[in-house]
Amino acid sequence: MPRSAYERSKGVETVTWREFPLGKGIALSILDESTPGGRQLKGQRLLDVLDEAAGLPPCKLTVADRPQRHRTRGGRLELKTYGYYRIAWEAAPQRGTIRIYNLTAIRQQVLAPKVFLETLLHEWVHHYDFTGLQLDRSPHTSGFFARIRDLAETLGVGFVAPPKRDVSPVATAADDVEIARPDALRPGGVPPPQWIRDQVLALFGHRRS
């Protein structure tokens, strides 16, 4: 991770809009959805509004009716993936896609509405980092989480976003991002560092089995 990308990510705490995103009603309506089809339809509407308002290329959403990717150890849940962002990179970043799993890892229950919406906003901020800020990586810095909160407050759903927090400068890897280039697919899917696991626990409670 180039230091410049980390510092730029850390230093930007708000999303810059070309026009104000009129997506509050859509964001709130997502909280009433539980089916993958309904969430994908309304989630895509919200992404379209955000992309247009920020002047970004389109980002496609897929809501998979399947359990979250996860790993267990000793019969207990060790880590899981709520969703991920994938960016196709040619001369410039383009063709962003978001995938969110609609079922929890172990119990295979429908993902809670607030968690689904927060995951959607989280992954869109990765899209903003690549196509708006023109970063070549999208690390989970304190600025990254500040941008999620700024986005959520802009949409009137600040209650779904994580609080502002400090992030260690040595923990820069984004575990939910994949970069597809014409000659290679470079996954970001390494086991997340402890600070990410601690944050997930802080946001969503104890590990669910």
Span 7-28, mean pLDDT? 97
Residue 2 CB contacts under 8 Å (≥ 6 apart), including other chains: 136, 137
Strands 177-181 and 69-73: unpaired
Q: What is the pLDDT of residues 87-146, one digit of tens each?
A: 987 666 677 999 999 999 888 999 999 999 999 999 999 999 999 999 989 999 999 999
Q: What residue spans define the domains of the chain?
A: 3-203
Helices 113-131 and 36-54: angle between axes, nearest 10 degrees: 30
DSSP 110: B
- Residue 180 pLDDT exceeds 60: yes
The predicted structure's pLDDT at residue 106: 81
The predicted structure's pLDDT at residue 176: 82
The predicted structure's pLDDT at residue 173: 40
**What pTM was computed for the model?**
0.80
Q: What is the band of 186 on the pLDDT scale with cuts at 50, 70, 90?
A: very low
- Residue 203 pLDDT exceeds 90: no
Torsion of CA 11, 116, 44, 143, to 10 degrees: 0
Percent of the chain with pLDDT over 70: 71
